[in-house]
């Protein structure tokens, strides 16, 4: 039996779909379904039980959780990069993750948790998923700092040889429609292009980058799920790992791929970046994934164009289609 926290959310529900595709339906989904729209992420999926987040936490802390659990895949946390409530972030992104780690380790249960590329901050220290350099990272916002605190706790307590922490980069794909301002630019751009025929990107305020040539590591959610599944199948592979495509691409490239998948000519405008973002804006992120490869993961990752084409044509163009 596998527990997926955040199982009605973006990556969590996609992973439930992946489990089902692999013939696994003995799943406990943990989440807070706060809107009818988000409930669609669980439609058509097979799972044993849905448990509310607080009931689940109480069961864990009271040692009253169902027997027979083989793995906990912990995607449930605050994913808003603009969240400012430090107490909320500490409870949801640090204490919750620590509680599950301790529970799983005490019982020999496989534990995989979501960290974030936000821990790398402005990238001045690079993007290597090297645990030895963990203390040097300086996240740019409270969200990134909360993920960093969990990673540091795992290191300080010598458990990274027994659990898996996944540093997700810019994930996009089906099941993210409910996220609003936190949805990927791919989702936002598709809907804007469908309505207006064009999309706006921030101008560059650094001379070495032309407008729209700021770069990110965009990774398709199906690749993320393949990687998570591999870690379930390979319990001796442990540690902190980047989850990205391994190749930085520009915002212009992303938009070009979306227009192409929609059968439209590109129409991109460039607007001024708000003053309050300029000192925090990342101009380049790229996930070195050699550590993942060295651990044994060999499946090819989708190119940006492959991922966007699948997303646009098989999901975004079919509003009722979820993965």
- List, for residues 67-78, the tens digit of each pLDDT value: 899 999 999 887
CB 127 within 8 A of CB 285: yes
**143 belongs to the catalytic site:** yes
Rounded to 10 degrees, what is the CA torsion of 116, 16, 32, 154? Answer: -40
Which residue among 113, 120, 143, 220 is the active-site one? 143
Query: How many CA atoms lie within 13 Å of 238's alpha carbon, on the beta-carbon side?
Result: 13
Residue 35 has pLDDT above 70, yes or no: no
Tell me the fold of 172-218+246-286+302-323: UDP-galactose 4-epimerase; domain 1 (3.90.25)
Sequence-ordered list of residues with C-beta below 8 angstroms from that of 214, at least 6 positions apart, any chain:
202, 204, 250, 251, 281, 282, 283, 284
CATH of 2-171+219-245+287-301, one of 3.40.50.1240, 3.40.1180.10, 3.40.1280.10, 3.40.50.720: 3.40.50.720
Lowest mean pLDDT among 217-226, 261-270, 311-320: 311-320
Q: Per-residue pLDDT tens for 98-136?
A: 999 999 999 999 999 999 999 999 899 999 999 999 999
Q: How far apart are the C-alpha atoms of 4 and 66, rounded to whole Å?
A: 14
Q: How far apart are the C-alpha atoms of 244 and 256, rounded to whole Å?
A: 20
CB 267 within 8 A of CB 259: yes
Continuous segment of H or E residues that includes residue 65: none
Q: How far apart are the C-alpha atoms of 205 and 211, rounded to whole Å?
A: 8
| Average confidence (pLDDT) over 184-204 | 97
Angle in degrees, CA 143, 148, 153, rounded to 5:
130
Q: How much of the chain exceeds pLDDT 90, in percent?
A: 81
**178 belongs to the catalytic site:** no
**pLDDT level of residue 212 (50, 70, 90 thresholds):** very high
Continuous segment of H or E residues that includes residue 270: strand 268-271
Q: How far apart are the C-alpha atoms of 192 and 80, rounded to whole Å?
A: 22
Which pLDDT score is estimated for 37?
66
| Average confidence (pLDDT) over 134-150 | 93
Which pLDDT score is estimated for 80?
77
| Average confidence (pLDDT) over 276-285 | 86
**Residue 215: beta bridge partners?**
250, 284
Which residue among 98, 155, 162, 179 is the active-site one? 179
| Average confidence (pLDDT) over 285-308 | 98
Q: Long-range contacts: 235-238, Cβ < 8 Å, 24+?
A: 235/110, 237/164, 237/295, 237/296, 237/297, 238/160, 238/161, 238/162, 238/163, 238/164
Q: How many residues can be counted in the chain?
A: 323
Give this prediction's pTM. Answer: 0.95
Residue 262 has pLDDT above 70, yes or no: yes
Q: How much of the chain exceeds pLDDT 70, in percent?
A: 98
Which pLDDT score is estimated for 148?
95
Q: How far apart are the C-alpha atoms of 308 and 172, rounded to whole Å?
A: 9
Name the residue among 104, 221, 126 with its Cα closest to residue 169.
221
DSSP H helices in the chain: 10-21, 36-39, 53-61, 86-89, 96-107, 142-156, 185-196, 221-233, 251-261, 275-278, 290-295, 304-311
CB 253 within 8 A of CB 259: no
Sequence-ordered list of residues with C-beta below 8 angstroms from that of 118, at least 6 positions apart, any chain:
81, 139, 140, 141, 143, 144, 147
| Averaged confidence pLDDT in the chain | 94
Can you give the residue ranges of every domain in the chain?
2-171+219-245+287-301, 172-218+246-286+302-323
Token code pair at residue 58 = 């109480």
């Amino acid at each position: 039996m596998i527990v997926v926290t955040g199982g009605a959310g973006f990556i969590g529900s996609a992973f439930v779909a992946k489990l089902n595709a692999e013939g696994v339906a003995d799943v406990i989904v943990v989440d807070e379904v706060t809107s009818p729209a988000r409930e669609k992420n669980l439609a058509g999926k097979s799972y044993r039980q849905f448990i509310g987040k607080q009931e689940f936490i109480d069961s864990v802390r009271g040692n009253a959780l169902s027997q027979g659990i083989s793995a906990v895949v912990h995607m449930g946390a605050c994913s808003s990069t603009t969240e400012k409530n430090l107490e909320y972030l500490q409870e949801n992104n640090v204490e919750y993750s620590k509680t599950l780690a301790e529970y799983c380790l005490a019982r020999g249960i496989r534990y995989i948790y979501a960290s974030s590329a936000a821990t790398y901050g402005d990238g001045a220290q690079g993007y290597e998923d090297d645990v030895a350099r963990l203390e040097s990272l300086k996240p740019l916002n409270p969200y990134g700092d909360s993920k960093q605190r969990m990673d540091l706790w795992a290191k300080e307590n010598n458990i990274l040889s027994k659990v898996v922490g996944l540093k997700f980069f810019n994930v996009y794909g089906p099941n993210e429609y409910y996220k609003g301002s936190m949805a990927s630019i791919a989702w936002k751009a598709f809907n804007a292009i469908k309505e207006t025929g064009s999309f706006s990107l921030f101008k560059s305020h650094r001379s070495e980058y032309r407008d729209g040539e700021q770069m990110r590591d965009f990774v398709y959610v199906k690749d993320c799920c393949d990687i998570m599944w591999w870690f379930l199948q390979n319990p001796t592979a442990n540690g902190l790992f980047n989850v990205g495509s391994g190749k930085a691409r520009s915002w212009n490239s992303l938009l070009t791929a979306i227009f192409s998948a929609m059968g439209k000519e590109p129409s991109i405008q460039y607007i001024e970046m708000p003053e309050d973002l300029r000192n925090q804006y990342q101009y380049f992120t790229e996930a070195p994934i050699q550590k993942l490869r060295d651990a044994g993961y060999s499946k090819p990752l989708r190119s940006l164009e492959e991922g966007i084409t699948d997303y646009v044509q098989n999901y975004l163009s079919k509003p009722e289609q979820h993965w």
